[in-house]
């Protein structure tokens, strides 16, 4: 077989991809029939495909390439570490400088007394760690009955058996016998879609109080933890009303429920602070981290836990760990990523420059006839498409039909956006500059115009 490289004709790469590569969250045969888009290289906020077309990456890969593509320093850090010590485990009462340095750095950045990190290679693995850790925490404190973890419908916490059980994605639960026992879901704080006649403030309170009801129904002695993303990402960039998080915090404090903030997307600058918990005023006992920790250059994640949680877990043996927990190359790359984030002031760039510039133009999209809601937090944003703005109506067509049409227009115009049902979401690299934001917005508007024209022609501009 000849070497398979970018120099191969696209059609041949696509044929081999279809023959041998199974894609995540994809209808395989459908994709095989049209062929995957082959991404060849990337620089800054732009991708180049195998046909030479340049596309702006409005999703930072999968919410992760925060520092942008093509950073030589990260390649150098990986090469240096591979030469010195490519691998060693952290099981055998052994450690190494990269994992020590990264754990120390995270302790310095993380809020409150979140001073201890248990490493994994992904957000899914880290949330699996969290399931076992919070249950073990209560067992070690002599309360083994506290095993229920409360989460939310339409949450995303990963794709392994445990983390997908924590998540609230119905299509995921429908396959493979999920959820595992003792996971309980309450409703999400999505006012635009589910708030009806309530004010956002009342709705936020009501949805938070579902947590209190669930604790009372399950019994305080049964509940171990509540887990939530500060801003729901994969669920459609859903930002809770202002009343929501203070009430959640009050309830977790009152019933002594561990609060797990899944910061896999919100962490490391996405919301304009180092962590989404800081932006939203949450005091978690555990944070899940991954994605932006290494800007996606290496697979790494972890659970960052409080002094109290660490003290209890460390009082015995926690029978848990991954071969690649604290992988030296991944740690070295993550450290270099954080060094650059710090040196270039990328978090304050999001908070003071890119965030406000995008916000102004993103919210102005609310004037478009298709847009029911335009919401944004830092550099994560969404628009909800609707056939009738006043009544916040859904489309009569199957959910996602119109969203996909809009997404396809965006791709054709040279912008990667993602659709979640009939919401469109973006999460661009945090290093995006003002002029690039202007280009992004122009392309979103073109996509909306193209979509409106198509669905008007096709008779899809109809409420349920």
Q: Which two tokens stand for residue 376?
A: 């944004």
Beta-carbon contacts of 115 under 8 Å, excluding residues fewer than 6 positions away, are 107, 306, 307, 310
- Minimum distance of ligand PLP from residue 320's CB (angstroms): 16
Minimal distance, residue 361 CB to ligand PLP, in Å: 25
User: Whole-number minimum distance, CB 122 to ligand PLP, in Å?
Assistant: 3
CA atoms within 13 A of residue 174's CA, in its CB half-sphere: 3
Q: Which is nearer to ligand PLP, 156 or 395 (CB)?
A: 156
* 152 vs 359 by CB, closer to ligand PLP: 152
Nearer to ligand PLP, 122 or 151 (CB): 122
**Shortest gap between Cβ of 156 and ligand PLP (angstroms)?**
5
Nearer to ligand PLP, 265 or 402 (CB): 265
Shortest reach from residue 127's CB to ligand PLP, in Å: 6
Nearer to ligand PLP among residue 147 and residue 427 (C-beta): 427
Closest to ligand PLP by CB, 269 vs 387, is: 269
Pairing label, strands 39-43, 46-49: antiparallel
Instruction: Considering the complex, state which of residue 90 and residue 127 has its C-beta at the smaller distance from ligand PLP.
Output: 127
Could you tell me the smallest distance in angstroms from the CB atom of residue 290 to ligand PLP? 4
Characterise 356 by phi-psi region: left (phi > 0), alpha (psi -120 to 50), beta (else): alpha
Token reading at 156: 């995303």
Residue of this chain nearest to ligand PLP (CB atom): 123
Instruction: State which residue, 63 or 191, has the beta carbon closest to ligand PLP.
Output: 63
* Closer residue to ligand PLP, CB minimum distance, 290 or 415: 290
Taking the complex as a whole, how short is the minimal distance between the CB of residue 160 and ligand PLP, in angstroms? 7
- The C-alpha atoms of residue 427 and residue 69 are separated, in whole angstroms, by 14
Q: What is the rounded distance in angstroms from the CA atom of residue 19 to the CA atom of residue 32? A: 8
Would you say 387 and 462 are in contact if contact means Cβ atoms under 8 Å apart?
yes
Beta carbon of residue 129, minimum distance to ligand PLP (angstroms, whole number): 12
CB 240 within 8 A of CB 200: no
State the minimum distance, in angstroms, from the CB of residue 166 to ligand PLP.
Answer: 9
Residue 235 sits at the vertex; the CA angle it makes with 229 and 237, to the nearest 5 degrees, is 75
Give the end-to-end CA distance of the chain in Å, rounded to a whole number: 54
- Whichever of 233 and 428 has its CB closer to ligand PLP, that residue is 233
Residues that bind ligand PLP (CB under 6 A): 63, 122-124, 127, 156-158, 229, 233-234, 262, 264-265, 290, 301
State the nearest-atom distance from the C-beta of 261 to ligand PLP, in Å: 10
């Amino acid at each position: 077989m000849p070497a398979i490289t970018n120099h191969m004709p696209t059609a041949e790469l696509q044929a081999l991809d279809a023959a041998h590569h199974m894609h995540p969250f994809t209808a395989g045969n459908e994709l095989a029939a049209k062929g995957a888009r082959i991404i060849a290289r990337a620089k800054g906020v732009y991708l180049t495909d195998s046909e030479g077309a340049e596309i702006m990456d409005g999703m930072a890969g999968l919410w992760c390439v925060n520092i942008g593509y093509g950073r030589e320093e990260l390649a150098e850090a990986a090469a240096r570490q591979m030469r010195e010590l490519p691998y060693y485990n952290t099981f055998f009462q052994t450690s190494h400088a990269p994992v020590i340095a990264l754990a120390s750095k995270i302790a310095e950045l993380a809020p409150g007394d979140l001073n201890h990190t248990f490493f994994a290679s992904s957000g899914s693995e880290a949330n699996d760690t969290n399931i076992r850790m919070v249950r073990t925490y209560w067992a070690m404190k002599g309360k083994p009955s506290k095993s229920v973890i409360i989460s939310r419908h339409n949450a995303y916490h990963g794709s392994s058996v445990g983390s997908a059980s924590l998540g609230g994605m119905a299509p995921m639960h429908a396959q493979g016998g999920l959820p595992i026992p003792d996971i309980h879901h309450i409703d999400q704080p999505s006012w635009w879609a589910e708030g009806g006649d309530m004010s956002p403030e009342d709705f936020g309170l009501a949805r938070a109080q579902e947590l209190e009801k669930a604790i009372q129904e399950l019994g305080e002695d049964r509940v171990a933890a509540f887990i939530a993303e500060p801003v729901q990402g994969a669920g459609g960039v859903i930002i809770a009303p202002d009343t929501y998080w203070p009430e959640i915090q009050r309830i977790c404090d009152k019933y002594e429920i561990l609060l797990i903030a899944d910061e896999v997307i919100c962490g490391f600058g996405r919301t304009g602070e180092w962590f989404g918990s800081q932006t939203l005023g949450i005091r978690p006992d555990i944070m899940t981290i991954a994605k932006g920790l290494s800007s996606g250059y290496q697979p790494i994640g972890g659970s960052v836990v409080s002094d109290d949680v660490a003290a209890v877990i460390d009082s015995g043996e926690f029978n848990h760990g991954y071969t690649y927990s604290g992988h030296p190359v991944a740690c070295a790359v993550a450290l270099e990523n954080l060094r650059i984030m710090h040196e270039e002031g990328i978090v304050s760039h999001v908070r003071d420059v890119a965030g406000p510039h995008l916000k102004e133009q993103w919210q102005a999209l609310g004037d478009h006839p298709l847009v029911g809601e335009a919401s944004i937090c830092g550099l994560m944003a969404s628009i909800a498409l609707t056939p009738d703005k006043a009544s916040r109506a859904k489309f009569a067509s199957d959910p996602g039909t119109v969203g996909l049409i809009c997404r396809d227009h965006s791709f054709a115009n040279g912008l990667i956006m993602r659709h979640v049902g009939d919401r469109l979401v973006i999460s661009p690299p945090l290093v995006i500059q003002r002029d690039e934001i202007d280009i992004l917005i122009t392309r979103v508007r073109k996509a909306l115009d193209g979509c409106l024209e198509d669905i008007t022609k096709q008779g899809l501009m109809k409420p349920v």
